[in-house]
Structures are given as C-alpha cells and as structure tokens.
A = this chain, B = another copy of it.
Amino acid sequence: MSPIPGLQRVGLLGGGVIGGGWAARFLLNGVDVLLYDPDPEAPRKVGEIIAGARRAYSKLTMAPWPAEGTLTFVSTPEAAVVGVDFVQESAPERLDLKRKILGAASAAADPGVVFGSSTSGLLPTEIQQGMTHPERLVVGHPFNPVYMLPLVEICGGNATSEATKARAAEVYSSIGMRPLVLRKEIDGFVADRLLEALWREALWLVNDGIATTEQIDDAVRFGAGLRWSFMGTFLVYRIAGGEAGMRHFMAQFGPSLKWPWTKLMDVPELDDVLLEKIVGQSDDQANGVGIRELEALRDDCLVAVMQGLRAVDDGAGYGAGTVLAQYEKALFDRAAVPAVVDDSAAEVAGPLRTHSTRIPTDWVDYNGHTNDSRYAQLSCDAADAFLRLIGMDAAYLRGGHSWFTAESHISYLAQSKAGDAVHVTTQVLHHDAKRLHVFNRMYLTGRDGADDTLMATGEHMYLHVDTEIGKSVPAPQNMQDRIVAIADRQAGLDRPPQAGRYVGAPRS
C-alpha cells in the first residue's frame, strides 16, 4: 500500500540503466511497479540497480522509508499499464520503437493516465504521434543514477496538455525529484545541451592531445564542478563579478567570448584512432576498478554531497540539499500512519515489534562486527518508531513539541555482522505526563523459523518538551492516551533483567 496518495502503482516500459533506476526510485518510495522489458536479462540487471539503490538509500536519510513496493515483470507493453496511476517509458532512443510501444500501451491504459518519456534526444511532439490520447505524453528526462539525482526535465509536445505537465511534476516531486518545466520544446532540452557542449570540447582536448581523460575530469572535479553541485554558472559568475555584480562580469569577460578558446566550429571525427584513445585513457583512469564498485563510490559521494548541502544555512539546506530536506519532511508526513507498526500493533500484549532492518555495511568495525554505537542507533531507531506510533508526526513536531532523550543504557550480549537481519521490540517500563521510560530488546532474527537471539538491550528515558521554551511540559492528552493503552496491555510483562542496571552492576 503506497503511502503516496494517488500513486499506488506505476507501469515502466523499458528496464535498462534508466528504466531500472526508475524502478528503484518508485519501489523504494513504496510504489508498486509493473515492468515491461523484452531483454531476458532485465530481471537480473534491474535487481542489481535496486540493490545499489537500497544501499544508497540506507545512508541517505534517517527519515522513515515506507515498505518497499512490489516489482512484477510483465511480457507486453499492454500488461504494464493495467490499473496503473502513471507510466514511464525508457525504451532505446529510436523513434519507431518508442512510437510502437507507446501506441500499444496507451491503447490499453485508462485514458487519464499520464505517460512520461525518459528520452534525452527525441522531441515529445514526435514521440506522441500515434498514441491514444497523445495529450497525456510528456517528456520526463531524468539523469543517471535516476534513484539519486533530483533533476527531471519536463517538456511537452504540441499536443501535450497543461494538466499532463502538472501531473508529471506532481508524480516526480512525490518521489523526491526536482522537476524543471521547460518553456519551449527544443532538441536536447536544456541540461543535455549544456553537457553536450562541454563534452564536445572535452573530445577535442583528447583528440588534440592537450589533456588525457583523467586530466580533463580533474579539471572539472577539483574546480568548477565543486561549485556546480550547488550553484549554476550564472550565479557563480554573478559572484565573480564582485560588488558590481552581473553587469560588471559581462563587461569584463564578455569580450573573451570572441577569443579563440574553444573549438566550437566543428565536431571531432569519432574515428577509430580517437575512439581507441578515449577507451584506453578511460581504462587507465579506472585502474581496474569495476563498474559496481565505481557505482557504489559514486552513490556514496552523491549521498555525502546532498547531505552536506542539506545541512547548510542552519539546516534550511541549499540546492539539492533543500530538495533532500523537503523530501525527508514528506517521508515523515507520510509515515504519520507509522510505516513500521500500525494501530493493530497496540492490541498486542507482548513487547511491540517496532523496527526491523539489516545491518548496513558501513556499521561494521575493522574487526567485522557491528560497531558498539550502532546498537545505540538501532535502539534509537526503534524508539523513534515507537514515538511515531504514539503520534509523533510532522504536524505534532511543527507544533513545537518533541520527546528529548535524557539518558540511554545499552547492554551488549552477542555480536552481529553486516547483512544480519535484526529486529527490535519495545516495552514501556514507566510513564507519566512528561516522561516515558522504554526498554528495547535487539534480536538477531532467526532464519527459517529458528529462534531469535537477543544481542543487545537498550533502555531509554524520554522527556516531553516544548522546543520553543526548552522546558519539559505534559504530552498532549491523545498521545498520553496511546501510551496508556500500550502500557496497560504490557502491564503483566516481567521486568527485564537488564533494566535499571548501572554500568558495573553485578550480572543478575
């Protein structure tokens, strides 16, 4: 059940690098996916992309991810659009092929369903010809990796309706992207025209032996590329103009446009000599590091850059950091009905199962075991889930209230390692209007019906505070009521032996 209103299920036409990236982004946002791709290898390839996305998303945010959607491979374009709320086409860049697939799929789809095309090189006016209801086709051009980069260019064709563009923007925004709606239909849209201009120049530099592929990459990533991750060329140049601003910059640097700096007049012949040169230099540059490793490194860097940009401006974020901050807010909002536990959980008399996950690879020490502090994180994540269960949603937080942790006690009982399935249960030990005292048991989840193993316990005291005045205040009555409901059902449980321990107390 997707947490995004009006986006329960999408149909994907094509499951290559781009289509697989869309699959990952929709699935990890809790949306079910029907995917058509005639390549028999598609399930494996898409599966690898989704695995990469899971890894990256586990690092991207501490906001609550919804339960993953389900992925179903289908054997025809028509089958991919049955009962879907949106369709994204990512077939190879051949007009005849796209028209054929979109023609078949659009005839089978409900008339109101919007179609996005991932094309980077074809015009929507041409693509939409032959579709049933061509007004619902819009280009939604993403960037690789689709599950990480926020940008998606929206470009309508002659037949495209305004409502179609608005719906596409809404869908893309809801899965954490930043739509850029173009004013005119144009070859290459906007971003690829800019990329292509730089790329052609780069090819000239290699062709003429001025620089290697690695030097060209370095010339970008140690300089202008760092700026481009948060400000574009125009704003950067405005700043370079100093106090006098953009007019001064244009006056100062405008004339250099006439200088013979760039070989814009022509395109280098991509003959075998140039091709071998590029391929060989690229191999040297990669130095034997494989594509999966490079992808993981790229994703780690994107996570780091976007998280970094989220923290600037006192947490308001900037550029892609603002996109991430807003996305996290939306994830919290949608988790208002808790993602991990639901109301029925409050009916359970035993400790509540509040959190389930796998130990991520970056939680592991030099010795291969989960780092001590990650047990604290696991316990805190479970406590967060419990707080959401009793009503800590975005509206509540905006109201200036929160539960602050006063103290935590972790007892370590068994080791775990990367990839282990683990889960946490929560027991209320004590509560009053301002305080909540919980006890978490962290388990290695038994495989195939085997018993779970208790690997650590976490005991936490929370104080209910008014964040404006920074003082503890009673929790809202409906929140207190939910705590009472759970605590009453747990009243008959034994007190855990690790509860109330101080560090160094004798083991009971």
- A341 located at the interface, meaning its Cβ lies under 8 Å from any Cβ of chain B in the complex: no
How many Å lie between the Cα of A194 and that of B205 in the bound state?
Answer: 9
- A464 located at the interface, meaning its Cβ lies under 8 Å from any Cβ of chain B in the complex: no
* Shortest Cβ distance from residue A290 to the other chain B in the assembled complex, whole angstroms: 9
Residues of B contacting A373 with CB < 8 Å?
373-374, 376-377, 379-381
Check if B180 sits within 8 Å of A193, measured CB to CB: no
- Considering the complex, which residues of chain A in the window 241-283 have a beta carbon less than 8 Å from any beta carbon of chain B? 242-243, 245-247, 250, 254, 256-262, 264-267, 270, 275, 278-279, 281-283
Binary interface encoding of chain A residues 127-165 relative to chain B, with 1 for a CB under 8 A from any of its CBs, else 0: 000000000000000011000011101000000000000
Residues of B contacting A406 with CB < 8 Å?
411-412
- A35 located at the interface, meaning its Cβ lies under 8 Å from any Cβ of chain B in the complex: no
Binary interface encoding of chain A residues 89-112 relative to chain B, with 1 for a CB under 8 A from any of its CBs, else 0: 000010000000000000000000
Contact stretch, chosen from A74-82, A471-479, A497-505: A497-505
Check if A199 sits within 8 Å of B233, measured CB to CB: yes
Known: A151-B222, A503-B460. A186 touches B201 (CB 8 A): no
Binary interface encoding of chain A residues 432-476 relative to chain B, with 1 for a CB under 8 A from any of its CBs, else 0: 000001000000000000000000000111000001000000000
- A47 located at the interface, meaning its Cβ lies under 8 Å from any Cβ of chain B in the complex: no
Known: A239-B291, A437-B503, A459-B503. A193 touches B412 (CB 8 A): no
Q: Which residue of B lies closest to A377 (CB)?
A: B373
Q: Which residue of B lies closest to A188 (CB)?
A: B261
Check if A500 sits within 8 Å of B503, measured CB to CB: yes
Check if B502 sits within 8 Å of A409, measured CB to CB: yes
Known: A213-B234, A305-B305. A368 touches B315 (CB 8 A): yes
Known: A368-B314, A368-B315. A151 touches B402 (CB 8 A): no
Check if B233 sits within 8 Å of A217, measured CB to CB: yes
* Shortest Cβ distance from residue A41 to the other chain B in the assembled complex, whole angstroms: 10
Residues of B contacting A57 with CB < 8 Å?
none
Binary interface encoding of chain A residues 184-224 relative to chain B, with 1 for a CB under 8 A from any of its CBs, else 0: 10111011111111111111010011110111111111111
How many Å lie between the Cα of A192 and that of B371 in the bound state?
Answer: 39
Leading 10 A-B pairs by shortest Cβ distance: A217-B232, A225-B228, A304-B308, A151-B223, A376-B376, A308-B308, A188-B261, A373-B377, A229-B229, A315-B368
Check if B228 sits within 8 Å of A224, measured CB to CB: yes
* Shortest Cβ distance from residue A428 to the other chain B in the assembled complex, whole angstroms: 12
How many Å lie between the Cα of A286 and that of B238 in the bound state?
Answer: 9
Q: Which residue of B lies closest to A16 (CB)?
A: B242
Q: Which residue of B lies closest to A211 (CB)?
A: B190
Task: Select which of B194, B198, B239, B502 is within 8 A of A502 by beta carbon.
Answer: B502
